[in-house]
Chains A and B, each alone.
Chain A
Amino acid sequence: MAYKHFILVCGGTGCVSSRADEIYHELIANAEAMGVKNDVQVVKTGCFGFCEKGPIVKVLPSESFYVEVKPSDAKEIISEQIVKGREVTRLLYKDVRQKDRIKLEDIQFYQKQYRIVLRNCGIINPENIDEYIARDGYAAIEKVLTSMKPEDVVAELKASGLRGRGGAGFPTWRKWDFSKSTVADQKYVVCNADEGDPGAYMDRSTVEGDPHSVIEAMAICGYTVGATKGFIYIRAEYPLAIERLKIGLRQAREYGLLGDNILGTDFCFDIEIRLGAGAFVCGEETALLQSIEGNRGMPVPRPPFPAIKGLWGKPTVINNVETWANIPVIITKGAAWFSKIGTETSKGTKVFALTGKINNSGLVEVPMGTTLREIIYDIGGGIRDGKKFKGAQTGGPSGGIITEEFLDLPIDYESLTSLGSMMGSGGLIVMDEDDCVVDVSRFYMEFCVDESCGKCSPCRIGTNQMHSLLVKFTKGQGKLEDLEKLEKIGLAMKKAALCGLGQTAPNPTLSTVKRFRAEYLEHIVDHTCRAGKCKSLLLFSVDKVNCIGCGLCARKCPVNCISGDKTLKFTIDASKCIKCGECFKACKFSAVLKK
């Protein structure tokens, strides 16, 4: 006996608290009452996202997606859908905005995600080229070689509106066009897979899940600009990605998709892997090219841009992994298809690595123009432990914080820049009320101090100065004029630093000073940290009313600074306290206070 239908009831915490359990039991009871219990299996599932629209019920194989289901709806779902085979239309999810946005396929479309870059990730075996080929892989290079002239490819890219996904959003076609129209005996194509911001892993996952999409795209670029040689620059700390790239390159060569006379044509192109040592600055394109040449990874001034004068002085197109992965699809499905997705100025999708204080962390790909609220609440399932959203950091150490008031702003290159943040490569770190913005800024600045290459003084000295000021704030030693100084140095760095790293390093600090000035002032004037993160500003004490004198805190204290007994109750010697918080965690009577 096999079931004909399956009813999935979301069992995520959000849905359970909104009576998913009752729905589950009602469905089973109704199935029994109507004599169809052998036709349908009702199961509880993990969280489906969409918690705001919960409880969620999904029926398979019809793929009906019901939202805000009530226990009283169970009867109708069973009698209509299971018995009579009709969807309960009134419960179906409707997205008012979806219609004019990405209703490209005539199917019921409840998902907020749209996967172009990640189209094969989680579907194909990345170590088997046949599976990539079966899913229209290498169809783009085939199309390009048989029916497109180089200028057609550039025109297609231009019409698609694709912009660089590595950070600043430079139009991809222009890079290609610069390189194509520069006369040289040798040209190069480079893939920037040196993903380095804390919390970002989009490019790693793309290369691990679908290495051939990058390989194919680079070959297309080689044909377009007239290059025969490509390099993939990837950090050595991504061993699995490197392994899969190597397998991919080998298989592509065996099939004649790389090497001499590709697919029997005159076109020759091959790719080598170059391993980076994990320096953040090597994600900056000129430093990356220096590193490929075997020099120390330090940026050089632009112009000349790499597209005109890059590797060994030759025209070099450099794009990042995500940009490359878009290209085969743009060629096979066409620019018109691609440019329908996204906003006026930013076409296509963006992959984000959604991390931090979020229920469903993960790799998400959404059309440009999706709001942060949709990403955090509909896809990410909201903030962990029901805490309050404080902000989201985009663009890692180069980006800025987006606060609650901007949750409904459609995300694209321009909107993020207008908020003092940037798209960056796509790290999206969610913070809640327990995160201290001063401490977070200090963390990012510390990262930049470590990663600054030291070539130009605005960055080398600026990051250090800003960092020491931020450390002072977290210790409660800051002065009001320091805040002014902090902003002054930051603005100077933005103008004077040599490369993107230095120019954007002040962003997290400047954006938090702007959006959370009150919190900075609390650290400076009142010496308090409302999130309780800046330990130097914390004071632990015992509330004599709640204390029952059990002494657990004293036994847990690693520096023996808590003393007392049953009658006197306990006291913490603040002069010896190291603020480890063990007593606070240990106390079962909320008698240890943290302020």
Chain B
Amino acid sequence: MAKMNLEQLRKLREEKKGDMVRRNVEGKNIQIIVGMGTCGIAAGAKQTFDEIVKAVEENKISADVIIRQTGCMGLCYVEPTVEIVMPGMPATIYGRVDVSIAREIVAKHVVGKTLVENHIYDRPAVDIVKS
């Protein structure tokens, strides 16, 4: 994108805001978000990320799923963390997601619409931008 002026910035914001609210990027409506700060990566987030990519392909849901990275959520004690945002399910944060839990989350949560036991953690604070 070329340099913007004020008007273009406003337009871009409205457009992208829509994307965030719909949580719908490139026609995909399931988001898997992996925490990839130094802390998450040190705890194995890269392996988790790779495993999710594999599991999504194996379950043949690549057309609906976008896998994204984000920074540290602050839950250092349960890294790596993964958040799933999808229609029909509450946005859920999972912690201590090693490769086997990553598979389980894709199969049970994303495909089966069932929460995975023992790995759910709470979002630490309300979102001040949305509210």
Chain A contacts to B: CB under 8 angstroms? 2-3, 6, 8, 11, 41, 43-49, 58, 60-61, 105, 107, 109, 111, 113-116, 118-127, 130-131, 133-139, 142, 145-146, 201, 204-205, 208-210, 238, 240-241, 254-257, 259, 263-265, 329, 333, 359-365, 379
Contacts and interface: CB of A to CB of B under 8 A. Distances in A.
Contacts of A209: 37, 70-72
Contacts of A329: 128
Interface of B: 1-6, 9-10, 12-13, 16-17, 19-20, 35, 37-39, 41, 68-78, 81, 83, 88-90, 95-96, 113-129, 131
A109 B41 CA distance: 31
Given A122-B70, A255-B3, A142 B9 contact: yes
Contacts of B90: 6, 60-61
A133 B76 CA distance: 27
B77 A240 contact: no
Given A43-B120, A134-B19, A208 B38 contact: yes
26 contacts: A3-B114, A47-B121, A60-B90, A109-B126, A111-B123, A111-B124, A115-B124, A122-B71, A122-B72, A122-B83, A126-B70, A130-B16, A135-B20, A142-B10, A145-B6, A204-B38, A208-B37, A238-B38, A240-B41, A256-B4, A257-B4, A263-B4, A264-B4, A329-B128, A362-B76, A363-B74
Looking at B37, B38, B77, the one whose CB has the most chain A CB atoms below 10 A away is B37
A124 B77 contact: no
Contacts of B6: 142, 145-146, 263-265
Nearest to A259: B3
B35 to A, nearest CB: 6
A119 B125 CA distance: 9
A254 B72 contact: no
Nearest to A261: B3
B124 A48 contact: no
Given A123-B127, A130-B16, A205-B71, A240 B122 contact: no
A263 to B, nearest CB: 5
Contacts of A201: 38-39
A6 B81 CA distance: 20
Contacts of A41: 114-115
A377 to B, nearest CB: 15
Given A209-B72, A255-B1, A362-B74, A114 B117 contact: no
A46 B95 CA distance: 8
- Which label, helix, strand, loop or mixed, suits the secondary structure of the B interface? loop
A133 B16 contact: yes
A111 B9 contact: no
A175 to B, nearest CB: 25
Contacts of A109: 126
Contacts of B126: 105, 107, 109, 111, 114-115
Contacts of B37: 121, 204-205, 208-209, 240
Contacts of A139: 13
A428 to B, nearest CB: 12
A58 B116 CA distance: 15
A361 B75 CA distance: 7
Contacts of B16: 130-131, 133-134
Contacts of B5: 256, 263-264
A134 B13 contact: yes
B125 A205 contact: no
B125 to A, nearest CB: 4
A121 B73 contact: yes
B12 A122 contact: no
A49 B70 contact: no
Contact of B121 (A44, A45, A265): A45
Given A41-B114, A142-B6, A254-B3, A135 B129 contact: yes
B74 A121 contact: yes
Contacts of B69: 125-127
A123 B74 CA distance: 11
B70 A256 contact: no
B86 to A, nearest CB: 11
B125 A361 contact: no
Given A115-B128, A133-B13, A256-B4, A122 B35 contact: yes
Given A43-B115, A122-B73, A264-B6, 20 more contacts: A8-B120, A11-B117, A46-B119, A48-B121, A58-B122, A109-B126, A113-B125, A116-B128, A122-B81, A124-B71, A126-B71, A130-B12, A134-B13, A135-B17, A240-B37, A256-B2, A256-B3, A256-B5, A360-B75, A361-B76
Contacts of A362: 74-77, 124
Given A45-B118, A45-B121, A134-B16, A210 B9 contact: no
A131 B20 contact: yes
Nearest to A262: B3
Looking at A6, A145, A210, A329, the one whose CB has the most chain B CB atoms below 10 A away is A6
Contacts of B70: 121-126, 209
B108 to A, nearest CB: 10
A109 to B, nearest CB: 7
A134 B37 CA distance: 21
Contacts of A2: 88-89, 113
A562 to B, nearest CB: 38
